[in-house]
Amino acid sequence: MERQGRIIKSISGFYDVIDQQTDELVRTRARGNFRKRGIKPVVGDLVNYENSGDLGYILELLPRRNSLVRPPIANIDQAIVVTSAIEPKFSSNLLDKILVNIEHNGIKPLIFLTKTDLISLTDYQSLKDTLRGYQIADYQIFDDQDSYNHKQLQHLENEFTDKVTVFTGQSGAGKSTLLNHINPDLNIATAEISQTLNRGKHTTRQVSLFELSGGLVADTPGFSSLELIDIDKDELPTLFPEFLKYSPECQFRGCKHVNEPGCMVKEKVNSGVIMQSRYDNYLYFLNEINSYKKRY
């Protein structure tokens, strides 16, 4: 009998599917014609499958709402962007690049600040002021000075209910550590920062979804840099929520917020409503996208 479920783990050609109605876990294989048609199921895929005793078979992949390539995962509702205060040092350019990529994939980002105990109170206050600018841009921020206090972790866990959540951010920012604080039973391997490169070792090897606080959560490998190769210059302004908010008031439709007269976004930057760093990073990314186009 045909049933519907979601892939929560993929191991050497086998797929563990959790049934949408019964929550039963079924090990399956994909039908042979998937390979011929160039279709590869990934963790997070919603599927129609049949369960024939010992082993089920995936009959059909349902349309994906979104998907990531690295790591391969589909149908994600939100991403917790784990951002380190130090080791690796906070970078608004990298944070904005991650946020732009997440917005491009139709995923809701939330920002979680770690390693605040390793910086001075003055540096923490300065970082908190910076993050307030992201709050004004409608991002949800978790920036308590004690990153892993019970109240903040509870607040974060409340966001997991009925959603598929990925953790992402720069390598070594503390994604696995954060998950271990949320649920110590997970025992996700953590590694110290590689001092020589100031980059984290990739400790997360395999993507799988696990049930946590009424939702499904994945721990995904970190990354040190991202390219904007899939984003074009017309889409970029729509990936900054605060630009979207004010662009209807720009003099020109389709305003790129660069040299156009009567640009409300630039006005809001000048009056301090939109963060200067966000606008500078936007111009930097625009330049990067234009240089890709010339190269390809």
- Place 198 in a pLDDT band, splitting at 50, 70 and 90: very low
Cα separation values, 32 from 4, 49, 58, 147, Å: 19, 14, 10, 47
Confidence of residue 150 (pLDDT cuts 50, 70, 90): very high
Of 210 and 222, more confident: 210
Known binding residue 130? Answer is no
Mean pLDDT score, 100-104? 92
Instruction: Say whether 123 counts as a known binding-site residue.
Output: no
Location of each CATH 3.40.50.300 domain in the chain:
68-219
Please give the Cα distance from 139 to 246 (Å, whole number): 16
Rounded to whole angstroms, the Cα distance separating 173 from 171 reads: 6
Q: Is 220 annotated as a binding residue?
A: no
53 assigned ligand-binding residue? no
pLDDT of amino acid 203: 44
Residue 173, annotated as binding a ligand: yes
44 marked among binding-site residues? no
pLDDT at 255 over 90: yes
State the pLDDT at residue 194. Answer: 41
pLDDT tier at 153 (50, 70, 90 boundaries)? very high
Q: Is 233 one of the annotated binding-site residues? A: no
The response to whether 250 counts as a known ligand-binding position is: yes
pLDDT at position 61 is: 95
Summarize the confidence of residues 77-86 as an average pLDDT.
Answer: 95
Average pLDDT of every residue of the chain: 88
Contacts of 139 (CB under 8 A, 6+ apart): 99, 109, 110, 111, 241
Q: How far apart are CA 80 and CA 77, in angstroms?
A: 10
What distances in angstroms separate CA 93 from CA 20, 111, 157, 251, 266, one per listed residue? 40, 14, 27, 28, 19
H-helix or E-strand spanning residue 28: strand 25-30
The response to whether 5 counts as a known ligand-binding position is no
DSSP characters over 88-113: TTP-HHHHHHHHHHHHHTT-EEEEEE
Gap between the Cα atoms of 271 and 246, Å rounded? 13
pLDDT at res. 293: 66
Higher-confidence residue: 220 or 126?
A: 126
Ranges of H-type helices in the chain: 33-36, 92-104, 121-136, 150-158, 175-182, 241-246, 264-270, 276-295
Pairwise CA distance, residues 84 & 96, whole Å: 14
**What's the mean pLDDT in 183-197?**
55
CATH of domain 68-219: 3.40.50.300
170 is in an annotated binding site: yes
Helix (H, G, I), strand (E, B) or coil at 227: coil
Q: What is the pLDDT of residue 133?
A: 94
Stretch(es) of the chain classified as CATH 1.10.40.50: 236-295
129 is in an annotated binding site: no
| Residue ranges, CATH 2.40.50.140, the chain | 2-63
Q: Is the pLDDT of residue 201 over 50?
A: no
Q: What are phi and psi of 70, to 5 degrees?
A: -120, 105
Q: Is 116 annotated as a binding residue?
A: yes
CATH of 2-63, one of 2.40.50.140, 3.40.50.300, 1.10.510.10, 3.30.565.10: 2.40.50.140
Q: 87: alpha, beta or left, given left = phi > 0 and alpha = psi -120 to 50?
A: left
Q: What topology does CATH give the domain 236-295?
A: Ribonucleotide Reductase Protein R1; domain 1 (1.10.40)
16 in Cβ contact with 22 (< 8 Å): no
